[in-house]
Chains A and B, each alone.
Chain A
Amino acid sequence: MEPDASLAVQMRGIVKEFGTFRALDHVDLAVKRGSIHAVLGENGAGKSTLMNVLYGLYRAEAGEILLNGERVEITCPTDAIAHGIGMVHQHFMLVDNFTVTENIVLGDEVCGAAGVLDMKRAREAVARIIETYGLEVDPDAKIEEISVGQQQRVEILKALYRGADILILDEPTAVLTPQEIERLVRIMRELASAGKTVIITHKLKEIKASSDACTIIRRGVQVGTVDVSRASEEELAELMVGHHVNLVVEKAPAAPGETVLSIRDLVVEDERGVEAVRGLSLSVRAGEIVGLAGIDGNGQCELVEAITCLSRAKAGTIAVHGEEIQNTSVRNVHAHKVATIHEDRQRRRLVLLFTVAENAILERYRDPAFGRRGILDRAAMSSFAEGLIEAYDIRPADNADKPARALSGGNQQKVIIAREVSGEPDVLIAVQPTRGLDVGAIEYVHRALVAERDRGTAILLISTRARRGHERIRHHRRHLQRQDHRHVQAGRGRREPPWPPHGGR
């Protein structure tokens, strides 16, 4: 690869090692100016590492970086910013209780004399960029008050404010719903047509819609660069994983039985007393998976908390096998054999400092099987945990006495699935169960859910990011279309029957 001034970014022979582990092995990357370029790879393939090298967060052991055909040294983010590179991290780097403007100008503040902030001028500067690129976000809103999509726009604004010509977006679609992804793609196109260069990393989805060219990395080695318009999704996936993958989970047709979980006219308020769920009705039968989708912050979080009795239902009923469970206790919900798999596994479903064995009994430690008279039966605990570890292939295999935080995200989720499913639940609430997992683990989770369905569990799959924000369920009636998922409709305080009734397959 020769220096080429028409290429905004050239990375040549990049090598990055962590201890003895070689995360990047002579990776090349060439990105045309004014294009949208995707870097594709599984979790841990090294795509984020490569981007962090470009942004100066990591230093490469070998290799060089050229911008517009000229060799540059990037040793820290400040260098990258100075060279017109901006990065939007997968986990947003935003200060929650700062305003949008404060977040954008942080580190490059508009000041009067003696370091005194001039927020009026800062706000004007921010408003100008918002207008130029149509990024639509309120410069005075606090970060904790806006939706994830808007937060991402703030991150893009941060880069543009610093005069970025090259924008790196690390897994930008992972946190977005389809509607928001469409919007992001529009923004990226807008940026590219304004002459900016956009590099995005991806696991797979949406790549066809959003990118021009795509570089694929597998286990730290660059596999190739392809023109996106000429490759199929399956081909890309195969390049990524190294063997043929099945993107569709094979499963038998569902054979639903009687209704197990039924929710009628449910109203739940969020922390601020705003009705987040308004008159929701749905039912789930044994042996079927019902999908519930919508944009982030649409009340799913409140719905889950109401079902699990962590928050109060203001009106309406939640019944399992006809018995109402709303506004009782979490333990009563467990007693009705309702299990939960949660996207926020580290905070919600695991005690990270507990061992795997201790986590395995988190909801069942009071069971006499794990000790009588208030004393824990350590032997029973570890044999139970070892059973789960073997049955659910949790790796490494000798982890029963290791703290849960030592496990990978996929294996943490396996611990939770093992625990929840081993109780043979009648109802399984799965909230974004595959979020943040790599392709292999996602396939595992999907199989586990289908296996549960086939066992006769009623599964409510909430498949977009549930997060508090301004937008609520009632605004959104677009739902996930999957073979096995029925549609669910949320009413605007009106009584509406589920629609379509028991269908959609």
Chain B
Amino acid sequence: MTRQTQGAAAAQAGMVQRILHRPITATLIAIALGFGVAAALLAAAGYDPGASFAALFEGVFSKPKYVSNTIIKAAPIILTGISVAFAFKTGLFNIGAEGQYIAGAVCAVLVGAKLDLPMPLQIPLVVIAGVAGGALIGAITGALKARFGIHEVITSIMLNWTMLYLNNFVVQSAAYHRPTSTSSIPVNASSFTTILPAWKTSDAGLETLRQVPWLYDFLVKTDVNIAFLVAVLVAVGAWFVLFRSKLGYELRAVGFSRDAAEFAGMPVGRNTLIAMAIAGAIPGLAGALMVTGVEPHSISTLAGFENYGFNGFSVALIAGSSPIGCIFAGLLFGGMIYGGQSVQMAVGAPTDIINIMIGTIVFFVALARVVPLVADLLERRAQKRGARHA
């Protein structure tokens, strides 16, 4: 080998090193492995993996309507993901996003269905009600931990179920039940956070939109709403609070090292409560935005969890607990959930394959730390080889 090619090889190896050491690489590898495992399973069960994945992608990208629905589906789990990520960064384990989400939806209905103010007042009030509901659940979790030392995982699990039944109670209550249905009455139209709800269905709106078919598809055929935009803002906000504000500095200090924070004079109990309240407020916001933004603008009797919170967990994990990363992980997730429905229609494969894919991705995300180790191993080998050459 000439010196030049050796140098080039070394540079190349160095680049591979650097790429392998980046956290995003491990995540991408995990995603690829998720698809790989799913392909193997599909093939083993007698389905065509190629056709299945094609159906998945078509189910997300082939029509503006699908893209729109994917974004709509992604918005709440981006928010619950940010909540879980925020809690992680402050040393807490928010497995209660599910219950906080329900609390948000319930509170939005409680306020939005009875109150009917002009839109600029109504929307903030309804959304704030949802945020407050979620924050309250979070605050209870935080308070029990701070005051009585009760593990947030237990409290969260118990509150998830409590909220599920309280949701059903509200749905069945005389004041909110919609007769001959399993739903509550919807929130008033002044609460809708759908984008241009009135205009897009008016004659003028329909007339204009027909000129632009993709926009017509995008807007009219789906419940496009502000949730995704809000989620992006919340992601940036969560990042800012965590890493650029004194409050976040304090919350992280308490989360990383309770003892050091205490010694430095930070109120540990209060910070635990604040961190959980913020983490709870975000799924509450998601719940309120789903009620105000998506048909049928009401809550229904729940037989089990809708997994908004648990999916948020996966989103946060795939995003490596980065609030900004949650936007992308949430979109990926939303796409898989929404596009996954097409897989069954197209090739008849069970939609559960999507859960397996997501599970596999999260599993390999857990193993992500192995990737840099492999990189180190390669490096050491390269060094040894280099030493031998010299």
Contact = CB atoms under 8 A, between A and B. Distances in A.
Q: Do chains A and B touch in the complex (CB under 8 A)?
A: yes
Interface of A: 19, 308, 310, 329-331, 333-334, 340, 342, 347-354, 358, 362-363, 365-366, 370-371, 374-376, 378
Interface in B202-256: 244-247, 249-250, 252-253, 256
B245 A308 contact: no
Given A347-B257, A353-B256, A340 B246 contact: no
A352 B257 contact: yes
Which of A329, A333, A351 has the most B CB atoms < 10 Å from its CB?
Answer: A351
A19 B263 CA distance: 38
B245 A374 contact: yes
25 contacts: A329-B265, A340-B263, A347-B260, A349-B260, A349-B263, A350-B257, A350-B260, A351-B252, A351-B253, A351-B260, A352-B256, A352-B257, A353-B256, A353-B257, A354-B256, A362-B260, A365-B246, A365-B249, A370-B246, A374-B246, A375-B244, A375-B245, A375-B246, A376-B246, A378-B244
Contacts, number: 61
B258 to A, nearest CB: 9
A14 B265 CA distance: 50
Contact of B247 (A353, A374, A378): A374
Contacts of A340: 263
Contact of B244 (A342, A362, A366, A376): A376
Contacts of B249: 358, 365, 376
A33 B26 CA distance: 55
A387 B322 CA distance: 31
A330 B263 CA distance: 7
Contact of B250 (A334, A365, A378): A365
Interface in B267-283: none
A354 B257 CA distance: 10
**Which bracket fits the contact residues of B?**
10 to 19
A120 to B, nearest CB: 36
Contacts of A354: 252-253, 256
Which of A331, A347, A348, A362 has the most B CB atoms < 10 Å from its CB?
Answer: A362
Nearest to A352: B257
Given A331-B265, A334-B265, 15 more contacts: A19-B380, A310-B262, A310-B263, A333-B265, A347-B257, A347-B259, A350-B257, A351-B253, A351-B256, A351-B257, A354-B252, A354-B253, A363-B265, A366-B246, A375-B244
Given A348-B259, A352-B256, A353-B256, A330 B244 contact: no
Contact of B263 (A308, A329, A353, A358): A308
A365 B253 CA distance: 11
Contacts of A371: 246
A342 B250 contact: no
Contacts of A366: 246
Contacts of A358: 249, 253
Contacts of A334: 265
Contacts of A331: 265
Nearest to B258: A347
Which of B247, B249, B261, B264 has the most A CB atoms < 10 Å from its CB?
Answer: B264
Nearest to A403: B256
B245 A330 contact: no
A295 to B, nearest CB: 24
A238 to B, nearest CB: 37
B254 to A, nearest CB: 9
B253 A362 contact: yes
Contacts of A374: 245-247
A351 B261 contact: yes
A348 B256 contact: no
